[in-house]
Structure 1
Amino acid sequence: MRTKKYIIIVAAGEGNRMGAENAKQFLPLDGKPILIHTIDTFLNHPTLIFDIILVLNNSHLDMWDKLCQQYYYLKPIKIVTGGRERFHSVKNAIDTITDHECYIGIHDGVRPFVSETVIERAFSEVIEHDAVVPVVAMIPTIRMTDGENNRSMNRSDFKVVQTPQVFNSEIVKRAYQTPYQPTFFDDATVVEFNGYTIKLIEGNEENIKITLPIDYLTAKALQKTKLIHDISN
């Protein structure tokens, strides 16, 4: 029997840092909202089948209804409303999953360029390692600051974390029973706080999180490149 695979897509943010009228996940990218591109990446995966849970802000539910009318295939997606912090939004989604043995991936709604290969690798590695996170190399030169003091750091000692972060359901469900801590920056930190080891896998450089206006410009360029590649093939 096939072990069920869930993807929780977190899209409950207001996107204030983008400075746009609409939340960043609803900004258009090649005529379609960023969030829909992200969802399509998982719905259209060539080898894996996912049950998708989408976490939205209460104020965006009407907008989602309109998108479901426009893109009718979105209607079966389960909707969960977000909480005060990302932690609470993810917990709200996890609490709706009743399967005892399954795999749960958690992905940012504004990461539409995660590759099919990274998704497949994450869900393959989780069978053995229980907690899997894609990462890429740290490219910029970095310095650590401490008040007025600062010092250079070896960038090869650091990795840039991406999503989807994928977990054995038993582990992530247990971890999300922990009371919220300000040091919970992502799902891996929640799981790690509860004593589990994280397996890192290679992500893909294009898998950017669209947060700032410069990211939106980069996303438009990436989408254009993707379209040219698709047409040429």
Structure 2
Amino acid sequence: MEKYAVVVAGGSGLRMGTSLPKQFLLLRDKPVLWYTLNAFLDAYPDLQIVLVLHEQHIERGQSILRSTYDPDRIWMTTGGETRFHSVRNGLAHIRRHSIVFVHDGVRCLLTPELIRRCYEGAVDKGNAIPATSAVDSIRLETLNGSVPVDRDKVKLIQTPQTFYSEIIKSAFEQDFHESFTDEASVVEKLGVKINLIEGESTNIKITRPLDLLIAEKVLEEREMGL
């Protein structure tokens, strides 16, 4: 089956405290986004990528694209006002029956194994959303104070969120709503049951300076085969 990844990389560097958006920051001498793109290229030889960037960063994106293992399998489009609109712009380039991955460009530590697991889960059940279990104690704030929550019932959601193309493209024909925090929430609005699969603890979102240090350590250990 055909495979497409919509990689959304239109964020700013506000929380990172840099003028350069975090997807372009260097990690072991390569941009964060470079690792993300190559993970998808490595996962399947026939997978194609739609890279969604802010229009002012298209030239920078082209430079990164050309440095990947297989730039001919990547093309770019511009983002929209919100993540929802950026994903919609990316999906507009997918016109054939396929499996579609939607991924945060700054989750650069995902592995080809996770991508394949998402693919297999989506083929089997229509969608596959990677998630990990909470390890900290959790409390929920209410009008009467905070109450404990059973952490075994709490899941931390990751990307790539993966769907049959017909499902996700139909979902993104809806009007934007503030409750849409990720692709699963958009699809779920249509009444589709969401299927969670096991994510990866290292599949972190690069948001703060500390995350870059963690990512460097993870890549170093992978290089050493640890």
Question: For residue 166 of structure 2, what is the aligned residue in structure 1?
Answer: 170
The answer (yes or no) to whether the contact 2:47–2:73 under 8 Å persists in 1 is: no
Q: How many corresponding residue pairs? A: 226
| Structure 1 unaligned residues grouped into runs of 5+ | none
Q: 1:66: how far off? A: 3.2
Name 1:6's counterpart in structure 2.
4
| Farther off after superposition, 57-66 or 134-143 | 57-66
Q: C-alpha distance in 2, partners of 1:143/1:213?
A: 27
Residues 69, 199 of structure 1: alpha-carbon distance in 2 compared, 3 angstrom cutoff: closer
Among candidates 41, 64, 79, match of residue 82 of structure 1: 79
Contact 2:34 2:65 in 1 (8 A): no
1:136: which partner in 2? 132
1:116 CA drift (Å): 2.0
CA distance in structure 2 between the partners assigned to 1:72 and 1:21 by the alignment: 28
Give yes or no for contact 1:29–1:223 (8 Å, CA) kept in 2: no
Q: Structure 2: how far apart are the matches of 1:91 and 1:34?
A: 23
Residues in 2 aligned to 1:228 and 1:77: alpha-carbon distance in whole angstroms: 29
Report the more deviating stretch, 143-152 or 189-198: 143-152
Does the residue aligned with 2:130 lie in a helix, a strand or coil? strand
| Alpha-carbon distance between aligned partners in 1 of 2:120 and 2:66, rounded to the nearest angstrom | 34
Question: TM-score of the superposition, structure 2-length normalised?
Answer: 0.94
Quick one: distance in 2 between partners of 1:36 and 1:54? 11
Greater Cα offset, 144-153 or 102-111: 144-153
Q: CA RMSD in A?
A: 1.7
Identity of aligned residues (%): 35
Q: Which of 23-32 and 144-153 deviates more? A: 144-153
C-alpha contact (below 8 Å) 1:54/1:77 kept by paired residues: yes
Matched, 1:225 2:221: yes
Match runs of 1:44-63 below 5 Å: 44-45=42-43, 47=44, 49-63=46-60
In the alignment, which residue of structure 1 is the partner of 2:201?
205
Shift, 1:71, TM fit = 5.0
Moved over 2 A (4+): 65-76
Counterpart amino acid of residue 159 in structure 1: K
Q: For residues 97-176 of structure 1, what are the structure 2 equivalents within 5 Å?
A: 97-99=94-96, 101-147=97-143, 149-176=145-172
Q: Given the alignment of the two structures, is residue 39 of structure 1 paired with residue 37 of structure 2, yes or no?
A: yes
What is the one-letter code of the residue matched to 1:62? E
Secondary structure in 1 matching 2:37 = helix
Find the aligned partners of 1:68 and 1:134 in 2 and give their Cα distance.
26
The Cα of 1:75 is off from its aligned counterpart by 5.4
Q: Distance in 2 between matches of 1:33 and 1:79?
A: 17
Between stretches 143-152 and 4-13, larger displacement belongs to 143-152
Structure 2, unpaired ranges of 5+? none
CA distance in 1, matches of 2:80, 2:111: 28
Which digits, 9 at most, give the CA deviation of each residue in 1:73-131, with x for residues without a partner? 435511011111100000001111111x2111101101111122221111112112111
Seen in structure 2, the aligned counterparts of structure 1 residues 78 and 69 have a Cα distance that, compared at 3 Å, is closer
